[in-house]
Amino acid sequence: MSDRMKEGARVRRSVLGDAHVDRAEAAQTDFDAPFQRLITEGAWGTVWADDTIPARERSMLTLSLLAATGNFDEIPMHIRATASTGASPQDVMQAFLHVAVYAGVPRANHAIKLAKQTYAEMGVDL
């Protein structure tokens, strides 16, 4: 295992939690193993592992980009990750307000809906 893969696995677990990563690893097949390596080394071992931007801000950027590009399926996972990254619900709302202005109200509206549902599941009072 490469150093980048090891660091990516460590960062992924620290942000998403052991349970999430364990489920992803248990569901992995030979077919999607190359993809799992790519995201572990690239997204987690390169981007998220870089300490230039703190995890809180990286979390806000990620949520903004997911909402702005309409990639809503991963928003709940990254809302749950805010418990580890330190991004507060208020931080997330500010990120989604930027999405509304720069990428469109409908995308921000849907992201906010998903965030509210996920925070409720997490027991976070808004």
Q: What is the distance between the alpha carbons of residues 33 and 105, in angstroms, rounded to a whole number?
A: 36
pLDDT at position 1 is 79
Structure tokens belonging to residue 100:
């509304």
Q: How many residues does the chain have?
A: 126
Q: What is the distance between the alpha carbons of residues 10 and 86, in angstroms, rounded to a whole number?
A: 17
Ordered per-residue pLDDT tens for the chain, 126 residues: 799 999 999 999 999 999 999 999 999 999 999 999 999 999 999 999 999 999 999 999 999 999 999 999 999 999 999 999 999 999 999 999 999 999 999 999 999 999 999 999 999 999
Using a cut of 0.75, tell me whether the model's pTM lies above it: yes
Q: Which 3 state secondary structure label does DSSP give 53?
A: coil
| Residue reference for tokens 């620290």 | 14
